[in-house]
Each structure stands twice: as C-alpha cells, then as structure tokens.
Amino acid sequence: MQVTKAIITCGGYSTRFLPITKSVPKEMLPIHNKPIIHYIVEELQQAGITDILILCGRGREVTQNYFDKNFEVDTVLERKGVNIELNPFRDLNIMFKRVAMPRGSADCIYHAKQWVGNEPFVVAYSDDLFLGGNPTQELLDAYKKFKKPLLTTTQVPDGEQHKYGIIRLDKRQYIDEIIEKPMQNPPSNLAVVGRYLLTKDFFKFFEEDRKTLASDKEVCTTAQLNKFTKTTGLRYVTTEAKRFDTGQPVGWLDANLWVLTNFVN
Ligand code: G1P
C-alpha cells in the first residue's frame, strides 16, 4: 500500500528551550530564514507525502498561520517586483488538530487515529531535524521492501545512549527490543530518532496500555513500539542524513551552522 499520510507532533511544553518557548513554539524557531517545521514539511513533500496532519498544542496558532496564503505580503512583494516563493506547500493537503493537553508523544500520535484510518503513516517529531538527506524517503523505500513498520535510527557514540531509545537486534538483525534511555549496558549504538513509519496497530497498542496509565503521566512511544516487535515485526533504517535535536539551544545552533556552511552562499 502506498504511503501518502504523515503526522507531525507539535504538542509538548518544549521545556528544554525555555524561556523563548513560553511564546514561540519550538517548531517555529528559525534555521537560517525558515522555521524548523518548513524543513520537515519539505522533507515529507519531497518523499511524495500528500496529506499532513499537524498536531498542535496550546499557543501553536503561529505554526498554523505559517501555512496560510498571506495576500497582504504577496501584494507588497508583487508591487515591489520581488520574487520570493512564500507558498511552496500549496499542493499539499495540510490539516491541523488541536491537542488539548500534552501527555507525551504516544498520546499526541493517538489524536491522529480517525484521520489515519487504515493506512500506514509516517510520524515526524518536530524537534528532530534532518539535513543532507531524507529519512522519510528512506522509510518509504524500506517499507516497499519489507512491508513492515519501521523506525529511523542513527549511530550514537558510546556514553550517549542514555539520551535515546536504543535498539537491541536479534540474530537475524531484526529489532528484538527498544530499551528507553538505558543508564547502563546499552544493547547497541543504534538510537531511535524522530521518524517512524507505523500502521494502525499503534492505536490498538496504545488503547491497551492506556488502561494502566495515570491520566497525568507523559508517555513516550517505546511501549507501543515494543508491541510491534512482538507481533507484526518492526524493522529499522539507519539514516544517511545528519540529525539535529533542535528541541534544545545547542542542537538548534548546530543546525543553523550546518545550513549556513552547506546551503547558504
Ligand atoms: C524520544 C523517544 C526516544 C528517542 C528520542 C529521539 O525521547 O522516547 O526513544 O530516542 O525521542 O528524539 P525524548 O527526546 O522525547 O526524550
């Protein structure tokens, strides 16, 4: 089945980037002259995704405005004879859904249940930025081959594994288990990063787990991803792209330096 849908999670409190994120959503922070979410939507578009659902928490109105046609600015530019492409995503079907209360990535993704229906879908975390490659395209290519849900991984150095979900592989090199932020004895150097290709089983797994969760507890997706490993199987792609954690100031600055060095004349 062809994959045409993707969701982008913009639900959380962005505590690692306070105080600016009190009033500027982290996905709207600029990398050179474009917000982070622009690069993510561009990545999805270039991979052939046509339908995008952006899951927005409180205060994300400016994120939605960014995708509007701005007649006023368009008119001013036209009068001045300036030619800047302000609506590169006009052919995409972009929708927004409000997330009333941030309760972690799993709960955020669950808000897409009805929209997703029966189709496989891509999940993009809005603070994971990939440059110099297209991890969504890598997922779609691998899906054609394996026909299984997939995760994107990246190699991290020893000593860094405690910051990520780390995958353990079985003898066939399939994912056996994901260990979330292992404090000791990490099973590999392959860290799960913010692009997945999932099926509707995710929603069933989340419904099962939700019964035992406190309503105010933030839940990451690792428990549900581990259920894939035990049922349908879960594969991975190690991305060729460079990954930046733009959810915190140093990662955001690194991404800007990378773009300035590689793209901007
Ligand atoms: C989440 C996931 C973790 C993954 C990371 C990558 O962690 O729980 O498995 O490695 O994203 O960005 P968070 O960054 O939300 O703590």
Q: Return the ligand 1 atom nearest residue 220 CA.
A: 8
CA–CA dist 150, 109 (Å, integer): 16
> Which CATH number describes the domain made up of 5-262?
3.90.550.10
The mean per-residue pLDDT over the stretch 44-53 comes to: 98
How remote is the C-alpha of 100 from its chain's centroid?
19
Looking at per-residue pLDDT, the higher value among 213 and 53 belongs to 53
Which amino acid type is present at position 131?
L
Which amino acid type is present at position 205?
F
What distance in angstroms lies between residue 87's CA and the mean position of ligand 1's atoms?
Answer: 31
- What is the per-residue pLDDT across 87-143, written as a single tens digit (0 to 9) for each? 899 999 999 999 998 888 999 999 999 999 999 999 999 999 999 999 999 999 999
The alpha carbon dihedral of 254, 255, 258, 259 has a sign of: negative
pLDDT of 265 strictly over 70: no
The mean per-residue pLDDT over the stretch 3-7 comes to: 98
Q: Return the ligand 1 atom nearest residue 125 CA.
A: 12
User: Would you call 56 helix, strand, or coil by DSSP?
Assistant: strand
Q: Residue whose CA is closest, atom 14 of ligand 1?
A: 164
Q: Residue whose CA is closest, atom 9 of ligand 1?
A: 165
Q: Return the ligand 1 atom nearest residue 104 CA.
A: 15
Token code pair at residue 13: 């409190």
- What is the per-residue pLDDT across 136-194, written as a single tens digit (0 to 9) for each? 999 999 999 999 999 999 999 999 999 999 999 998 889 999 999 999 999 999 999 99
- What is the per-residue pLDDT across 210-243, written as a single tens digit (0 to 9) for each? 877 766 677 789 999 999 999 999 999 999 999 9
What residues are in contact with ligand 1 under a 6 Å CB criterion? 125, 128, 164-165, 180, 191-194, 220, 222
Identify the band that residue 85 occupies on the pLDDT scale cut at 50, 70 and 90: confident
